[in-house]
Homo-oligomer: A and B are copies of this chain.
Amino acid sequence: MIDEERKKTIEELVHQKSWLALREELAEWPLPEVADLLLELEKADRVLVFRMLPRRISGDVFSYMESEHRKGLLKDLTDEETRHLLASLTPDDRTTLFEELPGQVTQHLLNLLSAEDLHETRQLLGYPEESVGRLMTPDYVAVRPEWSVSEALDHIRNKGKRSETINVIYVTDDSWKLLDALELQKFILARSNDKVQQIMDDSFVSLNAFEDREQAVFVMQKYDLFALPVVDTDGVLIGMVTIDDVFDVAQKEATEDFHKGAAVTPLKTSYREASVWSLYRKRVGWLMTLVVVNLASSGVIAAYEDMLSAAIALAFFIPLLIDSGGNAGAQSATLMVRAIATGDIKMDQWVKTISKEMKVGIAIGLTMALGSMILGYFRGGFEIGIVVGLTMITLVVAANIIGTLLPFLLLRLRFDPAVASGPLITSIIDAVGLLIYFSIATVVLGHMG
């Protein structure tokens, strides 16, 4: 990682305008660290250092930078510099960049592309957002089954320099229909006279370019793949997705789910890059919406105000009961949300899951009810003890059911189930909990009192 000393050296070189020394110093650094360094420099220095980078690495360094800094840097480059930069990006990194930029900027940048790159980029941008098509690169290497291994290796040597990775080689027929996906090592380990079809295993997994990018995460993880071929509806090979990009997607999706689960509209940048104003906007909407849900709880209290005045000891248990219910609901909901996100539970397993969660709820509810009944007895007497205990078991079971059902319901309605796991479920269960509490209190206290 970057230590302060190395950063200082660079800063000095910049201020002494020792461009050649700077170039030499940076040429030896791993690219992600050059990207980190740029991030740490003053804005003015950043452009200067970026311009100094050897052209063959500047595209890669740019791709390693965070989106906010990429945008900033682009503004400071001349059209000519931008043209070179865009040409040096890999097709998938170019698509990602265009996705992040405002429409007008993208339009301007498209004008700077070569005819070939423009065609390619237009095509990739034609796939839906968050689709597999947006992640793929068309720079793969494909061979024919009737070629010999040594012919194939010659072809790989020829085409491989342009390809992002040649760890996986594809086999297609004359019309580019995908026949197989073979690891490069198979070619190395085979005899050179063998035909490609002799080393084929006819077993491969591919995805359609229009599928959701989360499918790529599932499939690559399930099959332990480094690269995944992407085909059109006729099975024709149109690109490949590499595991580094899919890994990034998995981390991004997990972060989005964390944020959604905490009632934060997912940030488009990292937290560190996010401005106070954007954090405000991403949070306040949900908080205000939840106020509406919370008003239901307040409404329940208002409806039972007389009762509460008459038996103020009931107030003591409000936080205890509604928080316990909310917590149990959040547990169930989070277990569901994550199990759905990782493919552990499917939509059609909801009945089985509910029954499991009901059993867990009854067990937990009984345990919690026993404890809180004793508390209630000491605090408010026998009747309050009964009310609190009965409320606890009913509420925990109800919370488990709501916490299990809500994610499935959201999934069914084509919303992201992730929003169910935190504040939303807590707020809903608070209102339900108060209603259960006061209803039980009315019956028990009315009957016994």
Contact = CB atoms under 8 A, between A and B. Distances in A.
Given A247-B220, A259-B338, A291 B320 contact: yes
A208 interface: no
Please state the number of chain copies in the assembly: 2
Contact of A297 (B286, B305, B308, B323): B323
Contact of A251 (B28, B250, B422): B250
A2 interface: no
A7 to B, nearest CB: 15
A379 to B, nearest CB: 8
Given A263-B330, A327-B290, A426-B326, A308 B301 contact: no
B284 A364 contact: yes
A195 to B, nearest CB: 18
A21 B361 CA distance: 47
A279 B364 CA distance: 10
A39 to B, nearest CB: 12
A430 to B, nearest CB: 5
Contacts of A287: 324, 327-328, 331, 364, 368
Interface in A317-360: 317-320, 322-324, 326-328, 330-331, 333-339, 342, 344-345, 349, 356, 359-360
A24 to B, nearest CB: 14
Interface stretch (A69-77, A79-87, A132-140, A184-192): A184-192
A335 B297 contact: no
Interface stretch (A99-107, A171-179, A269-277): A269-277
Contact of A247 (B221, B264, B279, B319): B221
Contacts of A359: 276
B335 A264 contact: yes
B319 A315 contact: no
A342 B167 contact: no
A262 B331 contact: yes
11 contacts: A30-B203, A225-B244, A255-B342, A262-B335, A264-B334, A280-B360, A280-B364, A286-B327, A291-B320, A298-B316, A334-B422
Interface of A: 28-30, 32, 153, 156-157, 160-161, 165-167, 183-185, 188-189, 202-203, 205, 220-226, 243-244, 247-248, 250-251, 254-255, 257-259, 261-264, 270-272, 276-277, 279-280, 283-284, 286-288, 290-291, 294-295, 297-298, 301-302, 305, 308-309, 312, 315-320, 322-324, 326-328, 330-331, 333-339, 342, 344-345, 349, 356, 359-360, 363-364, 367-368, 371-372, 375, 421-423, 426-427, 430-431, 434
- By Cβ-Cβ distance, the 7 closest A-B pairs, closest first, are A297-B319, A262-B334, A224-B244, A271-B339, A327-B423, A254-B254, A294-B320
